Amino acid sequence: MPATDFQESSSSPSSFGFSILSRRRDQVHSMESTHEATSQEIELEAFQRQVAERFQDLAAADSHELLSIPWIRKLLDTFLCCQEEFKVIVMNNKSKLSRPPMERHISDFFERSVKALDVCNAIRDGIEQIRQWQKQLEIVLCALGNQRSIGEGQFRRAKKALVDLAIAMLDEKDSNTTLAHRNRSFGRHSAQKEQRSFGHFRSLSWSVSRSWSAARQLQAISSNLVAPRGNEIMSTNGLNVAVFTMNYVLLFVMWALVAAIPCQDRGLQTHFSVTRQCLWAAPILSLHERILEEAKKRDRRNSCGLLKEIYDIEKCARHMNELTDSIHFPLTDEKEREVKQRVEEVRRVYEAIRDGLDPLERQVREVFHRIVRSRTDGLDSISRANSHD
């Protein structure tokens, strides 16, 4: 009977697993143990619904919001909320989770979440990286922002900051070739020397070894992540669907972070396969698709992160570079107006980053701490439930 139920329910696109449970609940309504089972089922269904609603909300973002710092923060908020709700489920089901087959599922989830911790740390490094770029923008503003009149000196100063910015933003693989073109107003140092110190500068920003790879880490989180089968859903009362859901949320959030923020060996090839029957599958898959499309765009393909603000940095730096290349002194009034306009653009980008990065970093840290906490609490309570058997 469970098998038929599953097949039936899988034909309706918006429900997965839970329709069986609700149907069975109706069937067994008169039985004695109904009350407890029902409250658990309600809890699990509510979890599915809330995850779905939150991701629908995220997916409602227009193309300007998507992958912006505020959007990433909302994504992390979503993760934290899901994590909290999941934690309650774990606490309420500790004795079930301490026995097979759920024991294996939950320890598997905790293993994956430990892998996510390294992603969080890499993202923190990435945020620090963006902060270094922010400093160069600040110098541009300092040079051109509050000046009585804008002279060649200020332009050279801004230009140098822009060159430093461009080098810092380059992907590792391209960095060496472009370094030779590094343009200084005067040069006593050989290009080689600058390359050396620059190389060090970059490596110092990462707290993990040079061989660490975000793509590999995502691969590890996603490996063997398969949707639960119908008969197991029945035998676990749908508990394994909740664990699968949380696994998937974890994977997607980490993947999106890696997509948005610079880190070592960003690869977005992680395979997302989830049956559309999960309530939350549609919004997550649509977000996945939109982010991948963004990554394929010509002007973003070689970017070091899909974060909207990074794109803004690239754009305003490019505008500024074009402007500084086309400029002749003395400045015409028209040029001066253009400079002012560009400086304003830089200022807007700079301010968005300045105001956004600190709370973002704190939130990434919070996600890290929460993952650790929920894992520790989960393992403790399950092991305690085990010992009282």
Partner 1 sequence: MAENGEEKLIAVARHIAKTLGHTDTMTDDILKIFSNFDGRLREKLTEKLSEDGVEQTLNALDRQISRYISADNPIWSNSADAAAFLGSVDQLIAAVRDWTPLADDKSISSCLDRAEDLLQQSMFRLEDEFRTLVERGAESFDLTLSESTHPHPDYSDYDDDDDNVFADEDENFIPVAQQITDYDIVIDALPAGTIGDLHAIAKRMVAAGYVKECSHAYSACRREFLDESFSRLGLQKLSIDDVHRMQWTQLEDEIEKWIKAINVALRILFPSERRLCDRIFLGFSSAADLSFMEVCRGSTIQLLNFADAVAIGSRAPERLFKVLDVYETLRDLMPEFELNFSDQYCLSLRNEALTIWKRLGEAIRGIFMELENLIRRDPVKAAVPGGGLHPITRYVMNYLRAACRSRRTLEQVFEESIDYRKGDDQVLSSSSSLAVQMEWIMELLERNLEAKSKIYRDSALCSVFMMNNGRYIVQKVNDNELGTLLGEDWIRKHTAKLRQYHVNYQRSSWSKVLGVLKVDNSSTSPSGASKSLREKLKLFNSYFEEICRTQSSWVIFDAQLRDELRSSVSGSLSLAYRNFVAILQAVPDFGKNADRYIRYSVDEVEARIGELFQGTSGGKR
Q: Which residue has the tokens 């029957």?
A: 277
User: Measured between alpha carbons, how far is 175 from 166 in angstroms, rounded to an integer?
Assistant: 10
Pick the closer one to partner 1 by CB: 38 or 205. Answer: 205
- Say if CB 343 and CB 96 are below 8 A apart: no
Neighbour tally for 371: CB within 10 Å: 21
Pick the closer one to partner 1 by CB: 90 or 278. Answer: 90
* Contact pick of 115, 288, 308, 370 for partner 1 (by CB under 8 A): 115
293 scored as a contact of partner 1 (CB under 8 A): no
User: Measured between alpha carbons, how far is 126 from 260 in angstroms, rounded to an integer?
Assistant: 10
139 scored as a contact of partner 1 (CB under 8 A): yes
User: Measured between alpha carbons, how far is 275 from 273 in angstroms, rounded to an integer?
Assistant: 7
- Say if CB 342 and CB 320 are below 8 A apart: yes
CB of 201 to partner 1, least distance (A): 5
Pick the closer one to partner 1 by CB: 237 or 381. Answer: 381
182 scored as a contact of partner 1 (CB under 8 A): no
Which of the stretches 100-108, 209-217, 228-236, 241-249 binds partner 1 when contact is defined by CB under 8 A?
Answer: 209-217
* Contact pick of 30, 62, 192, 204 for partner 1 (by CB under 8 A): 204
* Contact pick of 29, 188, 271, 328 for partner 1 (by CB under 8 A): 188
299 scored as a contact of partner 1 (CB under 8 A): no
User: Measured between alpha carbons, how far is 347 from 334 in angstroms, rounded to an integer?
Assistant: 20
Q: Which of 159, 179, 90, 109 is nearest to 383 (CA)?
A: 90
* Contact pick of 25, 74, 96, 157 for partner 1 (by CB under 8 A): 157
Both structure tokens of 278: 């999960």
Reduced to 3 states, what is the DSSP secondary structure of residue 8? helix
- Say if CB 162 and CB 343 are below 8 A apart: no
User: Measured between alpha carbons, how far is 204 from 78 in angstroms, rounded to an integer?
Assistant: 32
- Say if CB 364 and CB 127 are below 8 A apart: yes
Q: What phi and psi, each to the nearest 5 degrees, are found at residue 278?
A: -70, 140
- Say if CB 105 and CB 232 are below 8 A apart: no
CB of 385 to partner 1, least distance (A): 12
* Contact pick of 23, 99, 104, 189 for partner 1 (by CB under 8 A): 189
Pick the closer one to partner 1 by CB: 238 or 262. Answer: 262
* Contact pick of 118, 309, 312, 314 for partner 1 (by CB under 8 A): 118
374 scored as a contact of partner 1 (CB under 8 A): no
Pick the closer one to partner 1 by CB: 148 or 298. Answer: 148
CB of 293 to partner 1, least distance (A): 30
383 scored as a contact of partner 1 (CB under 8 A): yes
Q: Which of residues 55-114 bind partner 1 (CB under 8 A)?
A: 114
Q: Which of residues 354-373 bind partner 1 (CB under 8 A)?
A: 369, 372
CA 227 to each of CA 30, 222, 275, 276: distance values in angstroms, whole numbers, following the listed order: 31, 12, 7, 11
Tell me, residue by residue from 319 to 358, as one string, x for binding to partner 1 by CB under 8 A and - for no binding.
Answer: ----------------------------------------
User: Measured between alpha carbons, how far is 89 from 84 in angstroms, rounded to an integer?
Assistant: 9
Residues that bind partner 1 (CB under 8 A): 114-115, 117-118, 121, 124, 128, 135, 138-139, 142, 148-149, 151-154, 156-157, 160, 184-186, 188-189, 197, 200-201, 203-210, 212, 217, 220, 369, 372, 375-376, 379-380, 383-384, 386-387
